[in-house]
Amino acid sequence: MIGIIDYGMGNLRSVQKAFESLDIQATILANPDQLDAEVSHLVLPGVGAFGDGMTHLRERGWIDPMHQFIKTGKPMLGICLGMQLIFESSQEDAPADDQPILGLGLVKGQVKRFAGNAYGPGKLKVPHMGWNSIDIQRPVKLFDGLEDQSHVYFVHGYYCCPTDASITIATTDYGDPFCSSIQQDNLWATQFHPEKSQRIGLKMLENFATC
């Protein structure tokens, strides 16, 4: 069974409906007590700000249960804000760039803001919103059956910078290439929204469910 973490930040029902359209059982977990042995895969979705996300996870008691779930070796998927939260820290909501907000620390690296003026006035807007392609870096289970340069749906103003570049499994160009998907052992994450990416995204969710 797929467990979807409810921490008050986002598109839970749309993720659940995407799995259900594939005839895959998915349950929204309202509290950590529901994270039992029947949950074979865990999804951390999310829409909103990094600081709020960490506050909600902490207040609802999700942080330690997620770390324990990862240690079991079962697959976990972070989506959009959920990808960012698994990193060590973020510039979003930080009082200064050298005082980042701490994240879950499941992946080494930092979440950084897009520098909108770095690409010239009027050239690129922040947040990065809409359809864009992914440049698949290596064959992985999540992308089975998908072509390189497949288009997926993004909505974000910050991007992830893993310390270990080898965990990056896809990049996307928005002025410059940025990491748009990672795999670290049994932990997967996408900056884009598979549940909003039509056929391509549904195939990824199907692939994740069979990891």
Active site residues: 80, 193, 195
Contact status, residue 169 vs residue 181, Cβ threshold 8 Å: yes
State phi, psi for 132 to the nearest 5 degrees: -150, 165
Q: Which of 40, 48, 56 is nearest to 6 (CA)?
A: 56
Contact status, residue 56 vs residue 94, Cβ threshold 8 Å: no
**140: helix, coil or strand?**
coil
Q: What is the DSSP secondary structure assignment for residue 170, as one 8-state letter?
A: E
Nearest-angstrom CA–CA distance, 51 and 91: 10
> CB count, 10 Å around CB of 21?
12
Nearest-angstrom CA–CA distance, 71 and 66: 9
Residues ≥6 apart with Cβ < 8 Å to 150: 133, 134, 200
